[in-house]
Amino acid sequence: MKLIRTIAMLVAGLGLALATPATAQDIDYPDTYAQDRAEIEDLMARYLFAMDYGDIDSYVATFTEDGSIEFASGTFTGHAEIREAVSRFKESIRQFYTTEDGEPAALRHVLLQSVVRVEGDRAWSTSLWMEMANDGPGDSFKMGTFGIYEDELERSNGRWLFSRRVVLNEFIDGRESGPDNPVRNVDAAAAAWLMQQE
């Protein structure tokens, strides 16, 4: 996976230097794209509902057996590590988001827009997310943080699952998405994978 990411970044860098940005017209969408995208967007929504409602089993089930997630606190690979990491996250987040009486606030993540690239049983995506909680004055909802998801996905036993998810946080130094269009990374990762298949 690290080799693929390194190659993708090199290709992305070369693309930034030599090419104009990819447009939707440049992508050859497969005939099954609408179905694949619907299933991938459903997976993304299930991930967020599972996280916000503390359904750890459903959260872990959105990843392949050897899938990984990278937060600001580290990278966690495989279902056991992911389960432990998200359980710790759910407990620690209660310390940051509280109502006026000190109770844990209701944290809700929102997925805004996503670009999804599908090549056979592999897919790549980048999405903008934000989170809100009722920790404002009078327990009103306020926007807390926001960032980017960078995803690699695989179709496993007929179902799309995350094989790798990177959570970037625009408000943390070193975890921001950077100044360049993150969609370029999606196209570069797909191009690198396609080159490996030749």
pLDDT digits over 1-35, tens only? 444 444 444 444 444 433 444 565 578 888 999 99
> Would you call 45 helix, strand, or coil by DSSP?
helix
Residue type at position 61: A
Confidence of residue 92 (pLDDT cuts 50, 70, 90): confident
Residue-wise burial string across 123-156, b where 16 or more C-beta atoms lie within 10 A, e elsewhere? bbbbbbbebbbbbeeeeeeeebebbbbbbbbbbe
Predicted confidence (pLDDT) per residue in 150-191, tens digit: 999 999 999 999 999 999 998 889 999 888 999 999 999 999
| Nearest alpha-carbon partner for 166 in 183, 147, 180, 184 | 147
Sign (positive or negative) of CA dihedral 68, 133, 182, 176: negative
pLDDT at 136 over 90: no
- Please report the domains of the chain, with CATH numbers, ordered by start residue: 2-19+33-197 (3.10.450.50)
What per-residue confidence (pLDDT) applies to 140?
A: 84
* pTM: predicted TM-score of the whole model, two decimal places: 0.83
